[in-house]
Structure 1
Amino acid sequence: MEKLFDICFKTGLLFTVVSFILGLIFGGETDLGVETDLDIDIDLDLDTDIEFEGVSKGVGTVSPLKPTIIAAFVTVFGGVGLMVINKGYSDILALLIGTIFAFFVSILMYKLIIVPLHKRQTVAHSNKSLIGHEARVILTIPHNEMGKIRYVIHKNTYTAPAKALDDDGIITEGEIVIIKKIEKHIFYVEKK
């Protein structure tokens, strides 16, 4: 049983470290000033409605079967199981305590971190009131290609993939643009 706990702990820890490193390379903006465009995530979405600032918006709720939650469960299960066995308790007790702690940490992580972040991101990016809003180009938008913009809503900063609405030329990094339309999570912009 100790080998099972050891494998779970090391696998969960390895997944967390690898996810962090790949997140720095492919996942988005970090405190190190690195920005990238690829976002890989696997989850199961269920359609629900939520109330946000008095306006009801249909958004998908995030599933608890996200890789982050599963990795947290496996890591805590393995780590707590190893600690209980090393204290001299039985395998059954280690299995029970490891499972309880893993569920508790996973539920807390889901309720306090994953769900609030998902709701905030979904509502912010599905809001059609962004049409006409100013944004700054943070990755040059070449002719007929994608770039990236940064905009601020309610003192929160967001980034989004962007294309020039008119195909006349290049919109360079640092220029201020106006969001003209949003289709399939792509923001179409024009120079201000």
Structure 2
Amino acid sequence: MESIYWGCLIGGAIFAVVSLVLGDLIDGLLDGAFELPGLDFFKPVVLAGSITTFGGAGIMLTRYSSISDISALILSLLIGIAAAMLVFFAYIKPMRNSDVSIAFSMKELSGKIGEITIPVPEKGFGEVMIKIAAGNTVHTASSFEHRPIAAGARVVVVDVTEGVLRVSEWDEDVLKDV
């Protein structure tokens, strides 16, 4: 029985190393062939972790405890199942729910407030930095009103045309009058 435990332990360890080194390549070649739709609990990483833990627990229980082989087998199976549940609930399930994107559309920048980093000439292009949820983003800017805008000036994005943010100087005094 110990040879089965060793096979599970070594096989799982080899799978872990191979998937760590060649994981993206294998995933691209197999394209999820071994994943069962709707059954996230049977993902390869969960099964491999369970089998490896089963093997390691079996070796330790047969060598370092005085329980019978059947008891060691049952206890090893339970420990392997517990490891699978731990991997699933601590890794797989949270990762499935964390698939969010920090991407944004250029059209979403209309109405955002930014700061000119490279001066915008009357007819030409400068650069504006805008704070978004993911951090700061810098874009090419032109003056909406065809007036020069100095570096450091606060601006509002009026619209986006062909990937260029058309900006106007932000005047807080105008808002006080409204």
Give the TM-score range, shorter chain.
0.5 to 0.7
1:114 equivalent among 82, 92, 97: 92
Higher fraction of strand: 1
Distance 1:39 1:85, change over 3 A: same
TM alignment of 1:3-42, pairs within 5 A = 3-23=3-23, 26=25, 40-41=31-32, 42=34
Which structure 1 residue ranges, 4+ long, deviate > 2 Å from structure 2? Answer: 25-28, 37-46, 129-134, 153-156
Q: Which residue of 1 aligns with 2:42?
A: 65
Q: Which residue of 2 aligns with 1:105?
A: 83
Whole-angstrom CA distance in 1 between matches of 2:8 and 2:20: 18
Distance 1:90 1:70, change over 3 A: same
Q: Which residue of 1 aligns with 2:54?
A: 77
Structure 1 residue 96: Cα displacement = 1.0
Q: Which residue of 2 aligns with 1:167?
A: none
Whole-angstrom CA distance in 2 between matches of 1:83 and 1:9: 11
Higher fraction of helix: 2
2:41 alignment partner, SS class: coil
User: 1:61-119 CA distances to partner (integer Å, 9 max, x unpaired)?
Assistant: x6111000010010000000000000243211111111111111110110111111111
- The percentage of counterpart residues that share the same residue type is 27
Name the Cα RMSD after superposition: 3.6
TM alignment of 1:26-175, pairs within 5 A = 26=25, 40-41=31-32, 42-46=34-38, 63-87=40-64, 88-121=66-99, 124=100, 130-132=104-106, 155=134
Whole-angstrom CA distance in 2 between matches of 1:3 and 1:67: 23
Q: Which residue of 1 aligns with 2:169?
A: none
Amino acid in the other structure paired with 2:45: T
User: 1:24-64 CA distances to partner (integer Å, 9 max, x unpaired)?
Assistant: x6389xxxxxxxx8895442233xxxxxxxxxxxxxxx611
Distance 1:131 1:18, change over 3 A: same
Would you say how many aligned residue pairs link Structure 1 and Structure 2? Answer: 116
Whole-angstrom CA distance in 2 between matches of 1:9 and 1:118: 27
TM-score by length of 1: 0.50
Unpaired runs of 5+ in structure 1? Answer: 29-36, 47-61, 135-152, 157-174, 178-189
